[in-house]
Structures are given as structure tokens and as C-alpha cells.
Amino acid sequence: MKVKSALLILVLFMLVGGFSIVPYVLQAAFYNPSIPQKTEVPDSKVVDGELTPQQENAILQQGKVIIRFEYNLTCEKCLETQNILGQLVNLKQFENQIFVEEIKSTSSNLPKVNIIGFVTDSNQIRVGEKTLQGMNVTETEIINSLCGLMLQPPVECALRNV
């Protein structure tokens, strides 16, 4: 009788143990988590056309500021703004902190500059943006907006307010 009881307990114990491991075996056999794709960020600091949302997020995660420049090919002020942005990207003080998207548009004969960066409020960092349009698109306004949206603004930004 003791042997029969011990054998029954052993069989029950093996069944319970076996059933408790089944979900883990099934999960290991059939669960295939998708491997996150690495987003390719263009090597150039200035790109012709729009970035994907994933590319924009990757650039922002690097702590960079994105300047989205919309322009019309027939606009003289737009060419001036394009030259200003080209110079800013290559300035040592803004090195590796600015990324420019140049987007051709047919909707307006005035330039539009949308600067996407970071705003710091009471120990919080969040994404912020500033839009400049038309005659407000000047080198001074662009630099002031950049300085206000950079995580690590150069010393020149602090000196502008003195």
C-alpha cells in the first residue's frame, strides 16, 4: 500500500511539474520577438527632402536640432535663407548639433523655417519647436531660435543676451 501511494504521489508530482513547464516550452518554441530595425540617419548635415519620422526621432535622440526649411525655387529670400543655413551648419560653434532638411514647396514665395529641438523647464527636457516665416526668417532670428532649442548651446548663445 505504501509503495502504491508513493508511486501515485510520484506520478502526480511529475504530471504537475510537466504541466507547469509546458507554457515556457511553448513560449520558447513559438515566440519570436521582432528585432528592432536600426534607423539609418543620413551622413550629410543637409538633406534634400523630408526625413522619415524614425530618422527625425533618431536625430533628436542624438541631441541634435532639426531645421526644416521649406522654400520655393523662385523665391529670392529663400535663396538667401538657404545660404544662411548652409553657413550655420558649417560653423564650429554649431558643429554636430544641427541637421537641415531642405524641402521644395510650391505653396509660398516666402521661406518657412521650422526648428525642432529641446526645451528645458524645471528639470524637465521635452521636444519643442519654433516656426519662422516670411520676413521673420533672418539670421538673427534663426540663431536666437537655435540657441533656445539646443541641449548644449555654445558660449556664443549666452553672449548674445549680454
Residue ranges covered by each domain of the chain: 1-33, 46-160
Q: CA-CA distance, 86 to 79, in Å (whole number)?
A: 10
| pLDDT tens-digit readout, 70-122 | 998 888 888 999 999 999 999 998 888 999 999 998 877 889 999 999 988 77
State the pLDDT at residue 41.
83
Q: Helices (H), strands (E): how many in the chain? A: 5, 5
| pLDDT tens-digit readout, 33-67 | 666 667 788 888 999 999 999 999 999 999 999 99
Q: Which of the four pLDDT bands, split at 50, 70 and 90, describes residue 30?
A: low
Q: Is the pLDDT of residue 1 over 70?
A: no
pLDDT, mean of residues 12-40: 67
State the pLDDT at residue 35.
62
Q: Which residues of 12-47 are buried (b: 16+ CB within 10 A; e: fewer)?
A: eeeeeeeeeeeeeeeeeeeeeeeeeeeeebeeebbb
Q: Is the pLDDT of residue 162 over 60?
A: no
Fold entry, domain 46-160:
Glutaredoxin (3.40.30)
State the pLDDT at residue 51.
92
State the pLDDT at residue 83.
92
Q: Which of the four pLDDT bands, split at 50, 70 and 90, describes residue 135?
A: confident
Q: CA-CA distance, 34 to 31, in Å (whole number)?
A: 10
Model-level pTM greater than 0.85? no
State the pLDDT at residue 115.
95
- φ/ψ of 46, rounded to 5, equals -125, 125
